[in-house]
Amino acid sequence: MATKKKIVGHSKRSRANAELVVATPQAPADAVKALRKFKATKFNQTVNVVAHLGIDPKHADQALRGAISFPHGTGKTARVVAFCASDKVEAAKAAGAVEAGAEDLVAKIEGGWMEFDVAVASPDMMRVIAKLGKVLGPKGLMPSPKAGTVTPDVPGGVKAYAAGKTEYRNDDYGNIHCIIGKLSFSDEQLTENLAHFIDTMAKVKPSSSKGLYFKKVCISGTMTPSVQVAV
């Protein structure tokens, strides 16, 4: 005798949230308030922002990559390593680096150690770590001047990234994703972080990008519908 297959539908929370979706773009402060109205989860949700920009990523002069430090952080810290000369090792560790060094650090990573999220390097170290390109490159961990991870101020770079400085890069469709905080942040903190993200994206608009630049900007929690932001 055949048994009926149980059909699993959307959860009660998902159905309730669907009823609260706002159809029109909201000012940043109102978008944050709208996000609060969705039914909460038992954990502290991350708040994400995605901007769909009027850029053509196929053109090198329109590809966007950089780093952003939010006024109130993101609620997330990072494990940072520093490639630097021996006289800068202690300063880098004091700034928050979990490991620092030159050839010795390269050898450690070649041996399989990868317990870090961001790598910062001084310009003179790039020749030393070139051999790690095949290891760090595919993981997006190779230091880059565009991302601010190649800097003469290694302790400053370590401190910024350890505190939550975030690297951004457009995808193949012209979207840029970032974390702007946690739902435990205040409305003012999330609003200011969101406004800072929008302002930063506006400042890096490629001169060759024509037409509408901000096509769509949305924020969402880890498990909430999105809210469109008026820009």
Residue 134 φ/ψ region, left for φ over 0, alpha for ψ in the -120 to 50 degree band, beta for the rest? alpha
At a CB cut-off of 8 Å and minimum separation 6, what does 13 contact? 39, 41, 223
Ordered by where they begin, the domains of the chain are 22-73+167-229 (3.30.190.20), 80-163 (3.40.50.790)
| 94-126 confidence digits (pLDDT tens) | 999 999 999 999 999 999 999 999 999 999 999
Band (pLDDT 50/70/90 cuts) for residue 147 is confident
Beta 227-229 vs 214-221: how paired, if at all?
antiparallel
Distance from the Cα of residue 217 to its chain's centroid = 15
Residue 229, beta-bridge partner list? 26, 217
Q: What is the mean pLDDT of the chain?
A: 91
Q: What was the pLDDT predicted at 14?
A: 75
Q: What was the pLDDT predicted at 194?
A: 98
| 30-89 confidence digits (pLDDT tens) | 999 999 999 888 999 999 999 999 999 999 999 999 989 999 999 988 999 999 999 999
- Provide the 3-class DSSP secondary structure of residue 215: strand
Q: 95 and 158 in contact (C-beta within 8 Å)?
A: yes
| 191-203 confidence digits (pLDDT tens) | 999 999 999 999 9
Question: Exposed e or buried b for every residue in 157-184, given b needs 16+ CB within 10 A?
Answer: bbbbbbbbbbbbbbeeebebebbbbbbe
* pTM over cut 0.85: no
